[in-house]
Amino acid sequence: MQSASNSSPHAPDRWFPTRKPLTDPRLRLFCLPFAGGSVAIYNHWSQGLPAGVELCPVQLPGRERRLSEKPIGDLAALVDALLPAIAPLLDRPFAFFGYSMGARISLELARRLQARNGPRPVGLLLGAAGPPSLNTREPIHLLPEAEFIAELRRYDGTPEEIFQHRELLELVLPMLRADFGIAFTGDGPQPPRLEVPISVVGSPEDKHVPTANLEGWRNETRSEDVRVRLFPGGHFFIKSQRDALLAYISEELNRWMGRAP
């Protein structure tokens, strides 16, 4: 039987099932996944991060141990649900790492905290995504099922075995539609600008995010501390370039924490 705290929609262990708390962390790094992704993509990242960095991968509803929960396809609603779980962990310096869809969530979390005059991240690390103002891709989550599945195959982020098993596919399609709904969320006419550093990582081989769009993140913050770093490997270089990516993330975190690499 679950305890009341574990059954709460804001219970930390629902959102951070793989987090291993440090006794005295220097910084917490909250990691948001790509569409269809989970905390699994961040397995073993801790060993590649600077000492004292507590890794906090975020598990969204509708996948793995949260499979029975309804996926959230509205960005504002997702942030509303996630912030109460994150809030108790903001007693230390922190940063967000968001990959593809996760970049959109990270941006909105930082905006919401700033609007509330709450704690601000030492920086945002954003990967495989341009800013929402430059997102001109077709909102594939609105397509009929057959066309949506064809687009998922084109993205090459969903294992082929899922497409081969109808029951499994029907189980994950609602989550995938919700995730792409989040990823394609646009901005209002005058979105607020952040006041924190942004470090962007992308790939010149990414067919979904033009390299030029990565520079557009400069318009999302008043900070002059904006960097763009490119890696080989296409849209999912987070998998093929893990060690190089972790080295760069560590470099940026050390810089933001005021420590020499």
Distances (CA, A) of 205 to 25, 125, 213, 240, 246: 36, 20, 13, 13, 19
117: left (phi over 0), alpha (psi -120 to 50) or beta: left
Q: Is residue 92 a part of any domain in this protein?
A: yes
**156 domain-assigned:** no
* Catalytic entry in 100, 106, 199, 203: 100
Number of structural domains found in the chain: 1
> What's the one-letter identity of residue 204?
P
Q: Is residue 50 part of a domain?
A: yes
pTM for this structure? 0.92
Concerning whether 100 is annotated as a catalytic residue, the answer is yes
Distance CA 37, CA 99 (A): 10
Task: Give the whole-angstrom CA distance, residue 200 versus residue 129.
Answer: 8
Binned at pLDDT 50, 70 and 90, residue 260 comes out as very low
Kindly state whether residue 54 falls inside one of the protein's structural domains: yes
How far from each other are the two terminal CA atoms of the chain, in whole angstroms?
Answer: 46
pLDDT above 70 for 9: no
* Tokens coding 105: 């969530």
**What would the two tokens of residue 156 be?**
């090459």
Q: DSSP letters of the chain? A: ---HHHHSTT-HHHH-TT----SS-SEEEEEEPPTT--GGGGTT-GGGSPTTEEEEEPPPTTSGGGTTSPP---HHHHHHHHHHHHGGGTTS-EEEEEETHHHHHHHHHHHHHHHTT----S-EEEES---GGG--S--GGGS-HHHHHHHHHHHT-S-HHHHH-HHHHHHHHHHHHHHHHHHT----SSPPPB-S-EEEEE-TT-SSS-HHHHGGGGGGBS-S-EEEEE-SSSTTHHHHTHHHHHHHHHHHHHHHTT---
Distance CA 209, CA 194 (A): 22
The tens digit of pLDDT for each residue in 200-234 reads 999 999 999 999 999 999 999 999 999 999 999 99
Backbone angles phi, psi at 27, to 5 degrees: -160, 145
Domain-embedded: residue 126:
yes
Q: Which CATH number do you get for residue 54?
A: 3.40.50.1820
Q: Would 62 be classed as within a structural domain?
A: yes
The predicted-structure confidence for 13-63, as pLDDT tens digits, reads as follows 899 999 999 999 999 999 999 999 999 999 999 999 999 999 999 999 999
pLDDT band at 10 (very low <50, low <70, confident <90, very high): low
Q: What's the confidence (pLDDT) of residue 139? A: 84
Question: Is 19 among the domain residues?
Answer: no
d(CA 148, CA 155): 11
Spatial separation of the C-alpha atoms in residues 102 and 142, rounded to whole Å: 20
Domain span at residue 89 reads: 4-12+26-32+45-134+189-255
Is residue 76, in this structure, part of any structural domain at all? Answer: yes
Token pair listed for 94: 């922190």
